[in-house]
Structure 1
């Protein structure tokens, strides 16, 4: 269900590619697939992880056959919590995680993309949270991250209507960061990110992800900057 690989950038840096590899089901995820995804991202030693889908979809989200087979409320709650843990692990992972969306990102697939640090789309990308049409909603952290990424108004619109956005509309509300020309464009963005200093990249991600109070964030920011200056002056950078 999850396929991993490595790409080497011109200056010797590497990128880990993590691919949803179940195209016959539009890359829908089972519990096993969630576990494989978490391991593929959190075990990465490369500075950048590129998450993408095989076939015509990025990821359709949870496999509805799995959802419909959940035997009781406790099992349903545990399945939601499983997806939440994986999304949180992606957000907290040491590398910068880039979602390369070329095709459909739906439901849990969009939620996992929201957990990534950047979302890069191609012109054929479509994004939506259609859970309400199925009597469900995005419970892998989607109601939280959707609001954080694009604001309450657009989050309400998307989650309550179930409508699907094209790449341009997703860019307009901040759901994706860039639109690039095809799969190669996504790879080029990942390579661009991998070419910078890896310690600085990790530090910036941690600082931007920090949700402590302002005073604590500022103290951590100053300390992290000092660490990078020492590494730079000691010749410890790349």
Structure 2
């Protein structure tokens, strides 16, 4: 295959995937007024979403609002959308670590905003805004892992399901507490939880507001591993080591793997197969493939 043809295939497939993964689930046709809800969310300031992108291709996204266990304020929701958009355009990325500052993950939404935005329309708009953002996070061509330190409650538990993997530190917990607030998940967490665990386990966790410690989460398949320490710098370093085997290799290959898995998860069989074919075409005859052939790579 000529280099020019390979590049053309790359551009076509990348264009299609860029369009899909940045496409909003909701727009004005669904009654979603994004500008209006963002103006209202701006009224509830505090906390921050920090993003650092490493030369190793691994980014770290940090939720920081420790006074309220890193709960999402309105401005943090907007910042999360902005950071996800930045990651969508990061050509050198392979992995993403999501965690909370000061040894806790996230306790959901800031109740000050929840109390004021209590009308059904405001609630639906906030729901659509966060579903859009977390769906784009899930579709990033990066292998993502949530590091659950301390508590991941409500919307924080939903955020963990938007990542590919979940690691937990000792004495941490994941709990979908929505029922106790007279609610159900609204940021896509219920749908993603069913995809991860199946309908019956998801029903038990949601209807029982079950508190999952690391061992329980590991047992049911919600967590991949339990880290050895709750110390923030050490747990992040351990997460980097855990993630390393999955992000080792050429950027275009790692991103292609994530894209094809996302397609298989979201699309019907025929569409998923066609997408797999298109993504395959971006790496067949590409630099990594040709190098492996030239080196007569053997599988041990």
Q: TM-score, normalised by structure 1?
A: 0.89
What are the Cα deviations for residues 69-120 of structure 1, in whole angstroms up to 9, with x where unaligned?
1152211111111221111111122322221112211111111110112212
Matched residue SS, 1:77: helix
Confirm or deny: 8 A CA contact 1:3 1:21 kept in the other structure: yes
* Cα distance in 2 for residues equivalent to 1:136 and 1:212: 29
Pick the structure with greater CA Rg.
2
Corresponding residue for 1:23?
66
**Cα distance in 2 for residues equivalent to 1:233 and 1:57:** 42
Query: Residue 105 of structure 2 aligns to a residue in which SS?
Result: strand
1:13-92 equivalences under 5 Å are 13-44=56-87, 45=90, 46-92=93-139
Task: Find the counterpart in structure 2 of residue 225 from structure 1.
Answer: 280
Query: Once superposed, which parts of structure 1, at least 4 consecutive aligned residues long, lie more than 6 Å away?
Result: none
Residues 99 and 147, structure 2, Cα contact 8 Å, conserved in 1 = yes
Moved more, 22-31 or 212-221: 212-221
Q: Matched residues in 1 for 2:203 and 2:261: separation?
A: 25
| Higher deviation after alignment, 133-142 or 186-195 | 186-195
Which whole-Å CA distance do the structure 1 matches of 2:228 and 2:54 have between them?
19
Following the alignment from structure 1 to structure 2, what is the Cα–Cα distance between the partners of residues 228 and 181?
37
Question: Helix, strand or coil: the match of 2:223?
Answer: coil
Question: Are the structure 2 counterparts of residues 199 and 73 from structure 1 closer, same or farther at C-alpha, using a change threshold of 3 Å?
Answer: same
Provide Cα deviations, 1:117-156, integer angstroms capped at 9, x if missing partner. 2212222321010111121221111221111111111111
Which structure's residues are more often strand, by fraction? 1
Equivalents in 1 of 2:96, 2:57: separation in Å? 9
Following the alignment from structure 1 to structure 2, what is the Cα–Cα distance between the partners of residues 223 and 79? 35
Please give the secondary structure, in 2, of the residue aligned with 1:127: strand
Q: Which residue of 2 aligns with 1:186?
A: 239
Counterparts of residues 111-190 of structure 1 (less than 5 Å) = 111-182=158-229, 183=235, 184-190=237-243
Distance 1:47 1:233, change over 3 A: closer
Unaligned runs of 5+ in 2: 1-47, 230-234, 293-300
- Between stretches 208-217 and 166-175, larger displacement belongs to 208-217
**How many angstroms apart in 2 are the aligned matches of 1:226 and 1:76?**
43
Gaps of 5+ in 1: none
Choose the corresponding residue for 1:198, options 245, 248, 251: 251
Q: Distance in 1 between matches of 2:57 and 2:97?
A: 11
